[in-house]
Structure 1
């Protein structure tokens, strides 16, 4: 009987400690959000969320991983901001945290295993370039892969860039890629950061290491999974009439984030900035990028290929195919 009581006491103490720890974590996360989140009109809703969580103690039944996932989902629901993210870090410690240089080295190696986001680069029938691009790795390490991809499609008559699985990434790489489609340095957007009060102006580069792709038709393939910098790429070229978007409406996450470590146990991403296009004065937060041609993501590539071929026939552009061959290919793509 005494052993059972002892075990019950240990379990009770453990439960109380876990509850106390999660309450502390919730409090610190709430403070970080209030200090840094870009959209202050949601503070009351966020505060109510955390107060409700601490009073109800619903989180007591969740392990650390589920606790983080549950919190992520609720923050996104309250704010409609898909950039909020909480992740449990079971092995994280400030004691064994590696240097920034070593972390960069590890990230570069990891990204190299996926060719820095460049999944496929090829030439489709009718001399149409195709780049399947899944994410913006660090510009410093992935610029050469971009240069190779753009040099490969240099002589094509039109270009399809597949962003259907692009989850975003590095801002500098976004600027680098956009620069290939502008003939001169161009102001693209500003980013206001609430915690510093600073506004940063983001411009394309006048010179790039590869061949620029100018005065040709460009098509972006999009899906609901297209996110953040992936959306920005399509948004900035679409609004300037440099590209056509084909597929599904994108995720709608424009606000850039900063990261914070909570109690050496959790990673918290807080959207702390606001992007504003210098062309339209708007962004894609909540709304997403609206395609010019709306089709399911499964039909997006076929649709883009067909549209590119229609322009080739219309403009009597020379390709490796005869006009009759192109028309037969178009019939096949319509089926």
Structure 2
């Protein structure tokens, strides 16, 4: 019995040591990625100090991979004050076999199509108002046709509501393509500086798009505390160029694009690797978030936008499928 207990003790000690050694390698790898890629070249020192302090306190001991990644993400974001940092445990991850570009594109199209490339629904609301409920920016290549179909559907409406209240962001190319539908000509929206490349890229809208552009009409964007990253970008740029009004809640403020890394074949790491600078404000929405033109609770944003448009229809005597009494009755009903 004594030998059995001794054997169990030794096994647990070795397991604990292996886990500690493994976590040490993970921490070292993440620090190196932050040092090489993060937009602020000095931040890695803060990250390294954080890891050493937390390791000495035993904060990462006896945690599952999932809990370790969750705690890690939280401490990274707080320490660096950047909400784009993200660590995810991958479980039994094995590197995928290399596939060619056509196979990769086909695979991405399939996965994105399962959520209709982020387009939850597209409607025509009473008063001839377009409504697009958009929940995520899939890649531009896979989303282009669906975006065009959505914009063609709302092309004949008098006003448009874009609902981003549940949109957590995504592809930068898709952000630029979506913006392109609201600019009559090619426009340089912002630059992105990548420190690890020492390279600045100009990000512009497209002069031509597949669907019909939506120009010179009232546009309202709905936001919540969940509106994040590229979704904030769509609101930010249309608001800056006075092409749309924002209604809803102030957003979290995550502007800088990320690079993806696999750490020790166990964790996915997202590191903000670029800095966006608006061509208009020479700033971005990092840390500050998007300030609504009309701040209301997220759950009231759609009703508020609908009423605002209907009242404008009455004021401007815009023709719709509704009579004036019908518009007034609808406003009363929405405001109750």
In 2, the alpha carbon distance for the partners of 1:217 and 1:85 equals: 36
Aligned to 1:28: 29
SS of residue paired to 2:238:
helix
Aligned to 2:50: 49
Q: CA deviation at 1:41?
A: 4.9
Aligned to 1:99: 99
1:203-282 → structure 2 map (5 Å cutoff): 203-282=204-283
SS of residue paired to 1:81:
coil
Aligned to 1:6: 7
Q: CA deviation at 1:33?
A: 0.5
Q: CA deviation at 1:34?
A: 1.3
Bigger Cα displacement from structure 2, 219-228 vs 40-49: 40-49
Aligned to 2:68: 67
Aligned to 2:298: 297
Bigger Cα displacement from structure 2, 245-254 vs 106-115: 106-115
Q: CA deviation at 1:97?
A: 3.9
Aligned to 1:116: 117
In 1, the alpha carbon distance for the partners of 2:303 and 2:42 equals: 43
Q: CA deviation at 1:22?
A: 0.4
Q: CA deviation at 1:280?
A: 1.1
Aligned to 1:152: 153
In 2, the alpha carbon distance for the partners of 1:100 and 1:58 equals: 42
Conservation of the 8 A alpha-carbon contact between 2:108 and 2:142? no
SS of residue paired to 1:60:
coil
Conservation of the 8 A alpha-carbon contact between 2:257 and 2:273? yes
Conservation of the 8 A alpha-carbon contact between 2:35 and 2:42? no
Aligned to 1:323: 324
**Cα distance per residue 1:254-296 (max 9 Å; x no partner):** 0100011111111111001100110111110011101000000
Q: CA deviation at 1:103?
A: 4.1
Q: CA deviation at 1:88?
A: 1.1
Conservation of the 8 A alpha-carbon contact between 2:236 and 2:285? yes
**Cα distance per residue 1:179-198 (max 9 Å; x no partner):** 00000000111000111010
Q: CA deviation at 1:24?
A: 1.2
Aligned to 1:197: 198
Aligned length, in residue pairs: 334
SS of residue paired to 2:252:
coil
In 1, the alpha carbon distance for the partners of 2:181 and 2:139 equals: 17
Q: CA deviation at 1:149?
A: 0.4
Unaligned runs of 5+ in 1: none
How large is the RMSD of aligned CA atoms in angstroms? 1.2
Distance 1:25 1:105, change over 3 A: same
Q: CA deviation at 1:98?
A: 4.7
Unaligned runs of 5+ in 2: none
Bigger Cα displacement from structure 2, 41-50 vs 141-150: 41-50
